[in-house]
A and B are shown apart, each in its own frame.
Chain A
């Protein structure tokens, strides 16, 4: 082994890395929020919706969960323009990430809701709570606590998956690393630095979710 590590040129590109990190964070946070929204709507439709609605959600979840993310991304970015719908790279990335994450969120949230004991719901009703109050206090709040760990795991997965959108020229963290690596021929150093950044980022995100979890779910079951 005669390779000499040299991080100077990679670290000198820190403004670019910072911009990339910013884009990764922005993309991930919005995509996670949209995924959870899709998840809530989808899960509700699947549990309480009419048959055709349930079928649509099932097809969506199955198609997305059984196809690779990168192909979905290329389909949206390179494929849709052929039928006249052209999304710029950032929009295509955000949409694909949200649609992808949403499919998993539907199942996570559905499982959370179904974990609520029927007797508990009936108890709520017999206490004279309105339908809306039953959904909010008897179903969603306890369900949220049950599904929270899975929700956090999926969110971190969305953040990690966002690295793939570098392939359609979105200037996020991985794209920046690829560019620095291509320019400096310092692949080991470039990707090592970015691995460290992703790791720290996700430690931070996990910690943040844990703090939110402790504060938000200190109500009794």
Chain B
């Protein structure tokens, strides 16, 4: 099954922008020598760049603190590295990579989707999380893959990636209802106008809040993986971060983070991402 993933395309376009700003930034930044784990442990402080405007990944809470999925992961990684203090720095999307390369932040845990264009300028760690486009629906429905959608009413946001994906791949007899926006689509699900909807897995948060226990995620249409961003010269730190992610997955700590912010277990992390070496 092949999905046209326009989300990916959009992200790729955005990253081209980020990519070009990298050169701009690196033009007046002297190449730093590699940051070693020992140095960091000596300072006992890790400076982490996160996004602060993306609920639930990273956002400012009512106490003016940046909280969310990524800050939690950052603290866990720091703990694994044996560093006590974590400084969470808000970075805007376009300057995530420049700030990393210029040494303003040590690592970036900033919903960075692992894309080949980015992997050319920075080093990605192993994936620590995923953004998924999924089909969600009533708990009493038996829906395990796209062929089970036959005869069901499926809500999508008009013109979205999931609209294209489901319109092209759903079996004959699937009724696709298109709404002008996420809110209307979620309302249609909750009020029973549609049986399932296609959308970002973070929708489940709002759905669960409005109608606890009535809906669940059924299957994933496409996944985008997020990795920790590191400078290419920091090879030792990279290996240490990868080990940290391995043990955090093994201990279930990342599952907990995923449960806390997304209300679901961490999906299976891939051993490779096309065009993005991370080992």
Residue contact B191 to A81, C-beta cutoff 8 Å = yes
Q: Which residue of A lies closest to B179 (CB)?
A: A169
Main secondary structure of the interface of A (DSSP, over half): helix
Main secondary structure of the interface of B (DSSP, over half): mixed
**Residue B121, interface by CB 8 Å:** no
**Residue B163, interface by CB 8 Å:** yes
Residue contact B158 to A178, C-beta cutoff 8 Å = yes
Q: Given A169-B188, A182-B163: A175 and B193 within 8 A (CB)?
A: no
Q: Give every chain B residue within 8 A of A179 (Cβ-Cβ).
A: 158-159, 178
Number of interface residues of B (CB under 8 A): 15
CA distance A56 to B215 in the complex (A): 41
Q: Give every chain B residue within 8 A of A168 (Cβ-Cβ).
A: 179, 184, 188, 193
Residue contact A77 to B159, C-beta cutoff 8 Å = no
Q: Give every chain A residue within 8 A of B159 (Cβ-Cβ).
A: 179, 181-183
Q: Give every chain B residue within 8 A of A169 (Cβ-Cβ).
A: 155, 177-179, 188, 193
Q: Given A169-B177, A169-B179, A182-B159: A86 and B164 within 8 A (CB)?
A: no
A205 to chain B, nearest CB (A): 27
Residue contact A81 to B193, C-beta cutoff 8 Å = yes
CA distance A77 to B155 in the complex (A): 14
CA distance A78 to B192 in the complex (A): 9
**Residue B279, interface by CB 8 Å:** no
Q: Which residue of A lies closest to B155 (CB)?
A: A169
CA distance A88 to B164 in the complex (A): 24
B191 to chain A, nearest CB (A): 4
**Residue B187, interface by CB 8 Å:** yes
**Residue B180, interface by CB 8 Å:** yes
CA distance A168 to B188 in the complex (A): 9
Residue contact A88 to B193, C-beta cutoff 8 Å = yes
**Residue A40, interface by CB 8 Å:** no
Residue contact B163 to A86, C-beta cutoff 8 Å = no
CA distance A12 to B184 in the complex (A): 29
A-B contact count (CB 8 A): 43
B277 to chain A, nearest CB (A): 34
B185 to chain A, nearest CB (A): 9
**B130-189 with Cβ < 8 A to chain A:** 155, 158-159, 163-164, 177-180, 184, 187-188
Residue contact B177 to A89, C-beta cutoff 8 Å = yes
Q: Given A77-B193, A78-B191, A178-B158: A183 and B164 within 8 A (CB)?
A: yes
Residue contact B191 to A86, C-beta cutoff 8 Å = yes
**A169-193 with Cβ < 8 A to chain B:** 169, 175, 178-179, 181-183
CA distance A98 to B158 in the complex (A): 27
Q: Give every chain B residue within 8 A of A89 (Cβ-Cβ).
A: 177, 193
B81 to chain A, nearest CB (A): 46
Q: Give every chain A residue within 8 A of B179 (Cβ-Cβ).
A: 167-169
CA distance A168 to B115 in the complex (A): 36
Q: Give every chain B residue within 8 A of A178 (Cβ-Cβ).
A: 158, 178, 180
CA distance A153 to B179 in the complex (A): 30
CA distance A19 to B191 in the complex (A): 27
Highest count of chain B CB atoms <10 Å: which of A86, A169, A179, A181: A169
CA distance A166 to B158 in the complex (A): 11
Residue contact A86 to B184, C-beta cutoff 8 Å = no
Q: Which residue of B lies closest to A86 (CB)?
A: B192
28 A-B residue contacts at CB 8 Å?
Answer: A77-B191, A77-B193, A78-B184, A81-B191, A81-B192, A81-B193, A82-B191, A86-B191, A86-B192, A88-B193, A89-B177, A89-B193, A166-B180, A167-B179, A167-B180, A167-B184, A168-B179, A168-B193, A169-B179, A169-B188, A178-B180, A179-B158, A179-B159, A179-B178, A181-B159, A182-B163, A183-B159, A183-B164
Q: A167-B179, A168-B179 are in contact. List 14 more A-B contacts (CB 8 A).
A: A77-B193, A78-B187, A78-B191, A82-B191, A86-B191, A86-B192, A86-B193, A169-B177, A169-B179, A169-B188, A179-B158, A181-B159, A182-B163, A183-B159
The 6 closest A-B pairs by CB, nearest first: A182-B159, A81-B191, A169-B177, A182-B158, A78-B187, A86-B192
A residues at B contact (CB < 8 Å): 77-78, 81-82, 86, 88-89, 166-169, 175, 178-179, 181-183
B residues at A contact (CB < 8 Å): 155, 158-159, 163-164, 177-180, 184, 187-188, 191-193
